[in-house]
Amino acid sequence: MSSFKVDDKRSDNNDNNTMKKGKNAIDMLHKNISKENEKYINLKISDIYGVDFDEANEIHMNYHILRIKNLIKKSDMLYKMSSILENYFDISNLSLKVVNGEITENSCLDILINAVKNHSQYRKEDRYINFYN
């Protein structure tokens, strides 16, 4: 697991004793992390922000929701459908699976692409159904 170290030594230089916060801190936590170790990041987020575990989990989920939405916007197949996907698919549930280390963000993208492909295939087959049999 990639470790996030905070220098506790006090010095006169303000750059050395300030802890990164915000998206940059969470980005640092995610650097070179495996899917299995993803679930342990909540503890580090809790320490960084000084919040309880549930709030750290929510911060972590929101981080991945934004990253998944950015992946959707970068996808050739999904970028035109981003608002539809956000309305009809539970991206927060996919994000929770990422936070728990069950799947990766790229797996979320694959799930959404397959759902869109299956839906379009279903619509093509649906028009050939004969209702008068």
Domain boundaries, the chain: 23-126
Return the amino acid letter for 103.
I
**Measured distance CA(66)–CA(81) in Å, rounded:** 16
Phi, psi of 78 (to 5 degrees): -105, -15
- Give this prediction's pTM: 0.71
Residues 6+ apart with CB under 8 A from 124: none
Per-residue pLDDT of the chain (133 residues; tens, 9 = 90+): 444 444 433 333 334 334 567 788 888 888 888 888 888 899 999 998 899 999 999 999 999 999 999 998 888 878 787 777 877 888 999 999 999 999 999 999 999 988 887 766 555 454 555 555 5
